[in-house]
Structure 1
Amino acid sequence: MAEATGIEWADSTFNPWVGCTKISPACDNCYAEGWAKRAGEAGLWSGTLRRTSVQNWNLPRRWNREAAAAGAPRRVFCASLADVFDNQADPAWRADLWRLIRETPALTWFLLTKRPQNVRKMLPPEWGEAGWPNVWLGTTAEDEEYYLKRWRHLSVVPAPLRFLSYEPALGPLGDLRFQDKGAPDWLIVGGESGPGARPMHPAWAREVRDQCSQAGVPFMFKQWGDWLPEGQPTGGEIGQINLWRRDWIRLDGGQGAYSPTAAAVHPIGKKRAGRLLDGVEHIAIPTVAGTASHE
């Protein structure tokens, strides 16, 4: 669907179909729902799904040829405007997607879901005991409750790499238990951006960063989102933004009331807030499970 993408951990995005249903607090300000409303297709977020065009489905085949010729795998996020493991998606569409993925071994497919309980039963029969080498499986968790609820399902699905997207971060993630079998191979952390964005406490990001560092797990800090915690360096020119505009985010996730552990946050926008955590850019992307391509 996009030759190039602004998503920091992918080279391209591909949507075999579009549409989804909100299922947790992370979905409250869904950017894809906003896209659908602007496109005049608000029904796509109330139970209707639409398969994308034949031309769109042919894009990954071209990307695969280009990646094979260049000798460099291309990272494809599938699906940014849907969920591959949505119960409402036509099983025939998903079967077509598996065939497409099988036909494009020079692409590394990132399948990120909020429905990991469906993954195992929706995998193709040929998935095997190790998964397909060009498919990484991930799930989203906005806080500890959803991490515990979702990761237990994904942790037992065979795959060359399983990752966690902690975005939007809406509360502390807690102990990631990297010592356990099936723990995440990669962590992506990000705050929320867009209309209605909620702030992230810097302690949440630091806790994940430190756990990843101790366990040798690749860590990507994707963005602060629209809110920058006080004391953090900005990612762009502040200009005339009034830094007296601020709110408070408590350690437990509550917003709007001061407490001794609350962080002051300023609504300066995603671009200006940037992606520096304590002055450091963390951009690790694994090449295989347990190793990072760069940091």
Structure 2
Amino acid sequence: MTRTKIEWTDETWNVATGCEKVSPGCDVCYAETLAERFRGTAGHYFETGFDLTLRPDRLALPLSWKKPRRVFVNSMSDLFHASIPDEYIARAFAVMALTPQHTYQILTKRHSRMRSLLTGLCDCGQGCVPATHFRSAMAWAVSKANVDRIPGVPDDAEQRVYRETPWPLPNVGLGVSVENPKWAGIRIPALAATPAAFRFLSCEPLLGPLDLTPWLPPISPVPPAEAPATWAEWTWPDWMPTAVRDGIEGFWSESHGRSPQQWMAAMYESGAPAFGAEIEMGDDPHRHRRVTGRFVYCWGNIGRLVLANDPAREYAYTSFGWRTRENARGIDWVIAGGESGPRARAMHPDWARSIRDQAVAADVSFFFKQWGEWGPAPFSVRVCDPDVGWTGTDEELAAAKADSEARGATHAHTGGWCEEDGERRYWLHEIGHKPWSLERCALPDGTAAIRRWGKKAAGRELDGRTWDEMPAVRA
């Protein structure tokens, strides 16, 4: 099971299969549906259904692939599942280190374990190191002294993995699933704090509107060439404390021969973290203490972190180096899509459009995977005065009815919601009853006409085009 129909990859590599549900994005899991069909079938690959199963016979598979390809790791599981041992994950990473011709895509909902394992930091943030030193475990997995050495690796594999391969691995991207605002706020900061050649978000199934702007900021508020010449022409964002504003304007003032244009140009020249990026940094002069906030470049290698969660102390002094810049680079790729299958939940078209617009504005690669089971249902007539009713002609009404009947049952995706276990869940309403008759009236604000087309018929076009952008892989 390698070649795949998943649009954003070439190959799947399942070193483990099986999982458990951890958030609403898992409720209609395609992998579980597939595996459970064969539970109890003697001799079948999924004889045990979707129970977690290690597949060590699959570990060496990429070593035989000579042609470069994009590889989705564990499409039928989660590589950072709690029941997968650290050393087994290290074995998979060792194979990825030995096959630099491939680009690996690792997607997880276990953000906390990913961060702790690949950074050496546990959730307390105090620098705790796991019992297994991950890179040493990678080298041991391919060592000639290891009786359980991965088969097929070259004789110099240990040297290559431990001494010659950079860290993070330059051909491995890490991503997290982000289905709604709650999990965006939990998983994305953990991803941003984990070293990777590139980082990505899978907003699929998209179950609510997302504001990704805290993690998709530009390097400077505006490009230097477009920045104003004086501070009188500049407007600060609302989240910026007065003391930080005054400090920057005092240094980059016209009286000192320094303009806002020069301030923004210096951000690029210094390799500063992105303006407004939410990151964790050292708290100068107490470097051992870590604080989290929105970064603002000041001068040289000096910055400020605006501390949204500490009203008694608006900001912290901090300095940055290459490692901070790497961690602050943020998100390189955003995938969005709706859900497919018999129990699929519908995605509001505006949610997908908003994510696309946010990614484009931040110059981040965007990939629209699919509408899924549900897609937009455009209607030709929308003429209604709420006080009068239908204002169109009989001919327009007849045409609209014929159009509606040709499309089948149509629903409205509303902006209404309810809370269930702390999660926001959106409603669907059938069309055909006042005041939402599409033949006679425009939809109320915040709603959209959608139809259950089926995945193939709904397609992948968003506003008339496909979006297949891929991230650049940085060494």
Q: TM-score range by the shorter chain?
A: 0.7 to 0.9
SS at match of 2:21: coil
Instruction: For 1:154, give the aligned amino acid.
Output: L
Counterpart position of 2:470: 285
Distance in 1, matches of 2:38 and 2:85, equals: 22
Instruction: For 2:63, give the aligned amino acid.
Output: R
Instruction: For 2:468, give the aligned amino acid.
Output: I
Q: Using structure 2 for the length normalisation, give the TM-score.
A: 0.54
Summarize the alignment of residues 267-282 of structure 1 with structure 2, pairs less than 5 Å apart: 267-282=452-467
- In structure 1, runs of 5+ residues without a counterpart are 68-72, 233-240, 290-295
Counterpart position of 1:138: 175
Counterpart position of 2:204: 167
Counterpart position of 1:82: 77
The answer to whether residue 88 in structure 2 is matched with residue 93 in structure 1 is yes
Q: Highest Rg: 1 or 2?
A: 2
Distance in 1, matches of 2:15 and 2:191, equals: 22
Q: Show CA shifts across 1:263-292 (max 9, x none).
A: 121111111100000111110011225xxx
CA change 1:77–1:175 in 2 (3 A) is closer
Q: Show CA shifts across 1:185-233 (max 9, x none).
A: 110000000120011111111111111111111101110001011129x
Summarize the alignment of residues 243-258 of structure 1 with structure 2, pairs less than 5 Å apart: 243-251=407-415, 254-257=426-429
Decide whether the 8 Å contact of 1:247 with 1:255 is kept in 2.
Answer: no
Counterpart position of 1:125: 135
Instruction: For 1:132, give the aligned amino acid.
Output: L
Counterpart position of 1:104: 99
Distance in 1, matches of 2:449 and 2:192, equals: 35
CA change 1:134–1:228 in 2 (3 A) is same
Decide whether the 8 Å contact of 2:37 with 2:49 is kept in 1.
Answer: no
Summarize the alignment of residues 1-295 of structure 1 with structure 2, pairs less than 5 Å apart: 1-2=1-2, 4-40=3-39, 41=46, 45=50, 48-52=51-55, 54=57, 56-63=58-65, 66-67=66-67, 73-123=68-118, 124-125=134-135, 130-177=167-214, 178-179=216-217, 180=277, 181-231=328-378, 243-251=407-415, 254-257=426-429, 260-288=445-473
Decide whether the 8 Å contact of 2:106 with 2:172 is kept in 1.
Answer: yes
Decide whether the 8 Å contact of 1:135 with 1:160 is kept in 2.
Answer: yes
Distance in 2, matches of 1:267 and 1:217, equals: 30
CA change 1:147–1:42 in 2 (3 A) is farther
Decide whether the 8 Å contact of 1:221 with 1:283 is kept in 2.
Answer: yes
Instruction: For 1:157, give the aligned amino acid.
Output: T
Q: Show CA shifts across 1:27-52 (max 9, x none).
A: 0000010111112158554xx42122
SS at match of 1:97: helix
Give how far 1:130 is off.
5.0
Give how far 1:58 is off.
3.3
CA change 1:195–1:86 in 2 (3 A) is same
Distance in 2, matches of 1:44 and 1:182, equals: 40
Q: Using structure 1 for the length normalisation, give the TM-score.
A: 0.85
Instruction: For 1:50, give the aligned amino acid.
Output: T
Distance in 1, matches of 2:367 and 2:193, equals: 23
Counterpart position of 1:235: none
Counterpart position of 1:292: none
For the aligned residue pairs, the C-alpha RMSD in angstroms reads: 2.2
- Tell me the number of residue pairs that the alignment of Structure 1 and Structure 2 aligns: 270
CA change 1:262–1:42 in 2 (3 A) is farther
CA change 1:204–1:42 in 2 (3 A) is farther
Give how far 1:87 is off.
0.7
Counterpart position of 1:236: none
Distance in 2, matches of 1:175 and 1:12, equals: 28
Give how far 1:242 is off.
5.4
Distance in 2, matches of 1:19 and 1:106, equals: 28
